[in-house]
Amino acid sequence: MLATQLLEIEKCTQSKIDAVDFNNIPFGRTFSDHMLVAEYFDGQWQTAKIMPYGPIPLSPATSALHYGQAIFEGMKAHRTTDGRIAMFRPDKNIARFNKSAVRMSMPEVPEDIFMEGLLELIKLDIAWIPNKEGCSLYMRPLMFANEPCIGVKTSDRYMFIIMVGPVGPYYSEPVSVLVSEEYARAVKGGVGYAKTAGNYGRTLYPVELARKQGYKDILWLDGREQKYVEEIGTMNVFFVLDGKLITPSIDGTFLEGVTRESVIRIAQDLGYEVEQRKIDIAEIVAAHNNGLLEEMFGTGTAATVTHINRFGFRGEDYHLDLDKAVISKRIKEELEGIKSNAVPDRHGWLKFVE
């Protein structure tokens, strides 16, 4: 199977890489020399093209801008300790992307176009993969409805893009979160599990309010009872209670994180007990008050494993002692070890780019 059967490639004439300071790479602002673009119309995907990264012409009537038919993914490629390049569980992201597509009434992207596109882009822009520890090449697949039509309907046209760029850590330090009882991120039957643009846009105003109160992000509760913990918007959430890991069980209202699932597997492999269940925020507060809440952390592709050092709830602040965060530190170390191929990849999570 030749990539050229699926893809056309137009290389850039002049790389921009010399202008990039690889010692200072803020998340999400630097993109490599190339991007993949594939269009869907007449009921099928057209030949995908890799072309120089740059602006795309859009009609003001572009459907996604009005009604939000837009989905995306977050994936990473990185250098391993033995000098190879690997992606971490790309099949899971592709599957989740297509699950989001179905929920948003969009066409699925064929797995071969998706995977070949990723591989070809990485090979072409290999020099953009940072060498520095904790840094990687972030890959952002995106699909949006681009029919120039403002009728409220499923679009006839879509654009699938993959852009990639070097990134450093999303959070460079532990994060504080405010438990929101006023705003909701998702409700049962909605689109909470889909990685769709509106799930993020709707959180920006409440997150700004939380920032004014000194918190970095929001810990979202369920949208119906405002009682059960769901996720942190950029991350899934875990607690360590009396030596046991607990995390909300999947119920369709929050993102089914690839890192979340990997962390659960790693924790079990390391012999820790993991419970996936409904978690009442009152239980977390009580556990903190009784000295049983030992750790709290978030997981995500961008965030990897990020410690939570404080949460605010009903005007009270609850602090977490990071010196006690031994389990999450051990899990993070194991996850990073697997990614860098320093620890055996026993579940076959790495896809090498040869």
Q: Which residues are at the interface with ligand COI (CB under 6 A)?
A: 74, 234, 300-303
Closest CB to ligand COI among 72 and 318?
72
Are residues 114 and 134 in contact, defined by beta-carbon separation less than 8 angstroms?
A: no
State the pairing for strand pair 244-248/85-88: unpaired
Is 301 or 341 the residue whose CB approaches ligand COI more closely? 301
Picking from 165, 133, 172, 140, the residue whose alpha carbon sits closest to that of residue 336 is 133
Tell me which residue has tokens 């030596």: 243
Q: How far is the CB of 235 from ligand COI (least distance, A)?
A: 7
Residue 283 C-beta: closest distance to ligand COI, Å: 27
In order of 203, 258, 323, the CA distances from 87 in angstroms are 29, 13, 31
The DSSP symbol for 208 reads H
Shortest approach of ligand COI to residue 303 CB, angstroms?
Answer: 6
The residues near 67 (Cβ < 8 Å, ≥ 6 apart) are 145, 152
Of the pair 3, 303, the CB lying nearest ligand COI is at 303
Interhelix angle 258-269/326-339, rounded to 10 degrees, is 110
How many CB atoms sit inside 10 A of residue 290's CB? 10
Residue number, 7 or 266, with CB nearest to ligand COI: 266
Contact 218, 205 (CB under 8 A): no
Smallest distance, ligand COI to C-beta of residue 96, A: 11
Cβ closer to ligand COI: 165 or 300? 300
**Which residues on neighbouring strands pair with residue 44, listed in sequence order?**
41
**Shortest Cβ distance from residue 194 to ligand COI (Å)?**
12
In the complex, the smallest distance separating the C-beta of residue 349 from ligand COI, rounded to whole angstroms, is 16
Q: Which is nearer to ligand COI, 217 or 294 (CB)?
A: 217
| Closest separation in Å from C-beta 278 to ligand COI | 24
* Shortest distance, position 32 Cβ to ligand COI, whole Å: 17
Cα–Cα dist 264/162, whole Å:
29
H helices within 153-217, ranges in order?
A: 197-201, 204-212
CB nearer to ligand COI: give 232 or 320.
232
User: Using CB atoms, what's the residue nearest to ligand COI?
Assistant: 74
Alpha helices in 125-273 (DSSP H): 197-201, 204-212, 258-269
Residue 117 vs 298, nearer CB to ligand COI? 298
Q: Are 343 and 334 in contact (CB under 8 A)?
A: yes
